[in-house]
Amino acid sequence: MSALLELQGRRIVLGLSGGIACYKSAEFVRLLTKAGASVQVVMTEAAEQFITAVTMQALSGQPVVTSQWDAREPNNMAHINLTRGADAIIIAPASADCIAKLAQGRADDLLSLTCLARPWAAGAGRCPLLIAPAMNREMWAHPATQRNVAQVVADGAVILGPGSGDQACGETGDGRMLEPAELWLDLVAFFQPKALLGKRVLVTAGPTFEAIDPVRGITNLSSGKMGFAIARAAREAGAEVTLVAGPVDLPTPRGVARIDVRSAQQMHDAVLPRAVRHDVFVATAAVADWRPATLSEHKIKKDGKKLAPSFELTENPDILAAVAALPERPYCVGFAAESENLLAHARAKLQRKRVPLIVGNLGPATFGRDDNALLLVDEQGQRELPEGGSTADKLSLARQLVREIAARIAAGSA
């Protein structure tokens, strides 16, 4: 979980309808406030059967509103005031009955009334509606519920989930409310500009491991964090993302398809047939340039003569160059992790690989860290990210890079 204040300054209205998943909403509020959001909770009468308003007030730091007749508002119009100036309203959990009310435009409690009275039309002041369904699997699959979901989506709402798994009733299937961390990630992604909407992005990340014998190998210190951040940022920007990952211990970014590989050859074989089906290829992985020409069948043992074993190396396939040479190649972005003369090496790689953009960084200064500094190099010149020679967290840099790539693609197709 990122420690960034990714929702700093955001005003969120969180609606709770009746359902056992209300217990998850408490953790969801905690995550929202930790991310810097101001959260106003609205609860239905049914929601109060599952969790108390006192709990939600303690976590949100604001009085919970439960009735359309709440006289604390100076004009006695909580249903109007709640969403004016709000960045979004999210209902979590949203019961089948709640979704039915929204689909029919009913307004017989404060939550449905607030949703109906929110500024919904496009333009300044618009308050988007996000819905996290939570119900029994049969209720979710029922044609009436599916019709209602289709209607609220047609009316502009965004559906988050549902998830699948064990349910409180003892059954298993679709209908679970997403976990708080999943909802948090989806909400953060919702606010990101959709600069790559409709695009397909292929990303490589992490090191490769070139086996010497069954227990040893050649590898490097790449953690994969930058590549995983780019995959997440591209997904947030609306792209369909495939991540080809070397041997790293990192969670798969939400909504990203992941393919795990070990060696450079395996990464090559995973990337090449897929590259032509993607619009963008970002080669973040620190791929080993060499591998042992032969693999020892058994562990190489000391021979008592204090002589180090020797073995012949052979060159690995150049994945970025191979993709860049395809007749219908995607927009290619290469990474150069150097230990010195960053600009010179990055520019040489740009010319050697024949790609439009190389992103350089100093490997020893960033491997394993959560922050980084990037140098964007193209035929026209170079530019630092962030500007001024400082560092920034890798997710923020990844989002900047994704916007940069999107702008370049748009300019090339204009």
**Binding annotation:** 289, 299, 317-320, 335, 349, 353
Distances in Å between the Cα of 73 and the Cα atoms of 67, 77, 85, 125 are 11, 6, 16, 20
Q: Which residues pair with 39 in a beta bridge?
A: 12
Alpha carbons within 13 A on the beta-carbon side of 281: 29
Q: Is 169 a catalytic residue?
A: yes
Query: Residue 44 corresponds to which tokens in the numbers above?
Result: 């239905």
Helix (H) or strand (E) holding 394: helix 394-413
- Could you tell me which residues are annotated as the binding site for CTP? 289, 299, 317-320, 335, 349, 353
Tell me which of 22, 115, 169, 332 is the catalytic residue: 169
> Using an 8 Å Cβ cutoff, are 226 and 205 in contact?
yes
> Taking every pair of C-alpha atoms in the chain, what is the biggest distance, in angstroms?
91
State the Cα–Cα distance between residues 404 and 361, nearest whole angstrom.
17
User: Helices marked H in 215-263 — which ranges?
Assistant: 225-236
Helix (H) or strand (E) holding 104: helix 96-104
Residues ≥6 apart with Cβ < 8 Å to 280 = 196, 199, 200, 201, 202, 234, 239, 330, 331, 333, 405, 409
Which residues carry out catalysis? 169
